[in-house]
Amino acid sequence: MLGLVAALCARGTPAVELDIPVFEGGYGLGFYQDTAREFEREQPGVRVHIYGSPRVQDQVRVRIIDGNPPDAASVPYILWTTLVKGGKMVDLRPALDGRNWEGDARWADTFNPGSLDSWRIEGGVYGLPMVYSCWSLFYNRGLFREHGWKEPRTWDEFFGLCARIRAAGLAPVSLPGTRWLYGDAFLRAAYHNLAGPEGWEAINTLTPEAWKDPRLVRAAAVLGRVTRDCVQPGWEGETAQGAELFFLQGRAAMTVSGSWFFSEMQGKIPSDFDVGTLNFPVFADGAADPTTIQGGSDCFFVFRTGNRAREKATVDFLRFMTSRSRAEAMVRMTDAPVAVRGVPRSAYSARMQDTADLIAGSRASFNMPQTMMLPPTIRQARVDDTRALMAGRLSPEAFARDLEAAAAEDRSRLAEPDRVSYRHPAAGTALILVVAGAAAWLAAGRLLARRKGPHPAPAEGFGPLRLPMAAGFVGPALALYGVFLVAPAVTAFLWAFSHWDGIGQRSWAGLTNFKSLLFDGDQMWTALGNNLFLMVVPALIVVPLALLFALLIHRGVWGASAFRMILLFPNLLGGIAATLIWLNAYQPHGGLVNAGLSGLGNALGSDWLRSFADYPWLSEEHLYAALIPIYIWMACGFNLILYLAAMEGIDPQLYEAAEIDGAPPWMQFLKITLPLIRGVVAISVVFLVIAGLNAFEMVWLLTSQDPSAKVSTLGTLLVTTMFKDFDIGRAAALAVILFSLVLLGSAAVLRVFREESVET
């Protein structure tokens, strides 16, 4: 064997080539690629291909489905538990019981306390931590020194401190409302401190009655009190970066974030801003060790490929990557904490010293991956109920009851996957009848059109193409269309009749997914209502407004060319870029919208306009009102160009004749312009209907990619169902319903406009 390795190396071909994709987040890929080159020098017979992207989890998921997984991966939010139970992951426990890379300690003992617990499944260890994210409170040391405030150790001290900070005219804590996980960090810390590791495991494994634990009610009361008494005005619509900037501007004494705070705010922290780091407070009667920290780690997972040499080489690479020298190298390159013990304090920057001390001084930790990997009902309930608790719409007791009910539903669904509770029989039946009726109406219209006889052939022309000639022209394009669009669509349609998580084996579900969506859950109906809002309300504003602008330009209003360019500009940006612009414009503090409205209020002396100084546009209550200006801004220009092109095709003699007859401009518009451009208006309405039903990126981005059920659309629900709940069959069924609604809605609009055009 050694001779074969030597021979291969001599010929320049590595004996083993490892394939390791990595999630490319805020820390980049530089460290991992440097580590790969160092390892190749240590092990000449091994080559490590390490690469990544922010969406690497989708790539890895496809490879798992194809049965061609990589050797290892650092990817969040994959159903690792399912893969473990399917025998597709390597248990790292035997290797961890062996020696570390330096050979001077047991490998498992070189990691921070509790950091290996994230992925302990059925007695094995399947995730190896590297980057270590520690949730904490960051505070303004300068303000604390100036006012003589002391760092709180207990929750009573914390709330007393918040009262003194507020009395000084400052916000105690800057908190983002669009990212529920930041506020939830208070609840997680409080509950783990009260219930300890056993209680934390109980809620994450859906142990019966665990979510009704009185200690969870106490922890929920802590979060409710924080958002009621301790946060900045307008926090409900604040983004994570907006909350951190609010803190760095000296307007809040503390903020909550993870150890990525300094990396995320690099270049935005004033040079004289002294930031300290605090662990979350504890209860006097807490069960957990008071030094416990709330962590999370980018873990590496090793796939079982059946090739022992590759698996061993992969584990050896991870052993090398987590050596003390490489861990120190990562800290120096990224200024990020690592899960490996023994990194010298001097490796961290001055700003990271507190975080390093917090991690080094902890005797235990708990991690939060399970929070994001819960079954679908309880996961969505965590999102929705946590937001409601933070906003004061839900009491701590109701919060606990709702989560226990959601956990019970998931336990029941896991036990009986085909069970359907008919909670919406009338609504589900009505939608089926509407879809069937629309299809029958459209089909009847086609039959009546055929009975009227074929359209007369044109007097001149080439005539119909013969089949061989038509196949030559259309065949290649049709083949590509069939392979890349029709075949995947048919496959997805078949998936709608199955139970499948995208990893394990598919099983036949019949109509269960459709019945569950239409008759059981509330989410689809809430999402459909939001889609109907986005179909109707923006269209009622966009179409008349675009017609008015087009008419003004067509009539030669002053500045028509500049006006046309300004209105068309948003269409050059694309939906994602435009949404990100509005995301910043809607910031409660410093955003263009609130600054403009409050500034106008100051100029006009209007208290109502001044009240928009910290208005939370991106909160759940105001999000859909905030979407209307975005739709108008993005859709008016496109529709204006459509209408203007149609208007310029109208014979000017018609207007001249109308003027001779004494018809005023408004009459000319109603009797000449509008009837002659009716077809173009129909097309624009179809586009708006499709956009309303397919609404996705605006809601997805403005809710930080984790919308609550209250603001979800069918598009965001589909993506959440597929990539967070990992329910491919249910997502495919939702896609079929969405496709049917788009197809029939578009066809119905065109049919109505066509019939009105004929009558006119």
Within 10 Å of residue 672's Cβ, how many Cβ atoms? Answer: 18
Backbone angles phi, psi at 81, to 5 degrees: -60, -45
Within 10 Å of residue 42's Cβ, how many Cβ atoms? Answer: 11
How far, rounded to the nearest angstrom, does the alpha carbon of residue 602 sit from its chain's CA centroid? 37
Q: According to the model, what pLDDT value does residue 369 have?
A: 60
Block residue for tokens 């929920």: 220
Nearest residue to 417 (alpha-carbon basis) of 503, 326, 507, 541: 507
Burial classification of residue 586, based on how many CB atoms lie within 10 Å of its CB (0-12 exposed, 13-18 middle, 19 or more buried): buried
Query: Mean pLDDT across the stretch 389-402?
Result: 96
Q: Is 302 in contact with 19 (CB distance < 8 Å)?
A: no
Please provide the CATH number assigned to the domain covering 522-726. 1.10.3720.10
Q: How far apart are CA 463 and CA 459, in angstroms?
A: 10
Q: According to the model, what pLDDT value does residue 9 have?
A: 45
Report the residue count for the chain: 760
pLDDT band at 466, cuts 50/70/90?
A: confident
DSSP 89: B
Block residue for tokens 């194809």: 66
| Residue 1 pLDDT > 70 | no
Please, which contacts does 695-700 make with residues 24 or more away whose CB atoms are closer than 8 Å? Answer: 695/530, 695/531, 695/534, 697/575, 697/576, 697/579, 698/575, 698/579, 698/627, 698/630, 699/530, 699/623, 699/627
pLDDT band at 324, cuts 50/70/90?
A: very high
3-state secondary structure 35-89: HHHHHHHHCCCEEEEEEEECCHHHHHHHHHHCCCCCCEEECCCCCHHHHHHCCCE
Alpha carbon dihedral 67, 70, 74, 75, in 10-degree steps, equals: -30
Nearest residue to 182 (alpha-carbon basis) of 270, 257, 97, 96: 257
| Residue 456 pLDDT > 60 | no
Query: Mean pLDDT across the stretch 585-596?
Result: 93
Query: Mean pLDDT across the stretch 166-177?
Result: 97
Rg (CA), the chain: 30
CATH assignment of 132-295+368-415, among 3.90.1750.10, 3.40.50.410, 3.40.190.10, 3.40.50.2300 = 3.40.190.10
Query: Mean pLDDT across the stretch 57-63?
Result: 82
Q: Is 101 in contact with 47 (CB distance < 8 Å)?
A: no
pLDDT digits (tens, 9 = 90+) for 522-561: 899 999 999 999 999 999 999 999 999 888 888 877 777 7
Q: How far apart are CA 8 and CA 213, in angstroms?
A: 61
**Could you tell me which residues come within 8 angstroms of residue 417 by beta carbon, excluding any fewer than 6 positions away?**
499, 509, 512
**Could you tell me which residues come within 8 angstroms of residue 593 by beta carbon, excluding any fewer than 6 positions away?**
585, 586, 612, 617
Nearest residue to 693 (alpha-carbon basis) of 536, 485, 523, 541: 536
Write down the mean pLDDT value for the chain.
88
Query: Mean pLDDT across the stretch 579-586?
Result: 92
Q: pLDDT higher for 629 or 8?
A: 629
The amino acid that residue 222 corresponds to is V
Q: How far apart are CA 513 and CA 510, in angstroms?
A: 8
Tokens matching residue 586: 């809607």
In the chain, where does the domain assigned CATH 1.10.3720.10 lie? 522-726
Helix (H) or strand (E) holding 23: strand 16-23
pLDDT digits (tens, 9 = 90+) for 203-227: 988 999 999 999 999 999 999 999 9
Q: Is 699 in contact with 623 (CB distance < 8 Å)?
A: yes
In the chain, where does the domain assigned CATH 3.40.190.10 lie? 132-295+368-415
Tokens matching residue 684: 């624009």
pTM of the model: 0.88
Tokens matching residue 128: 């190896």
Query: Mean pLDDT across the stretch 304-326?
Result: 94
Tokens matching residue 654: 């018609």
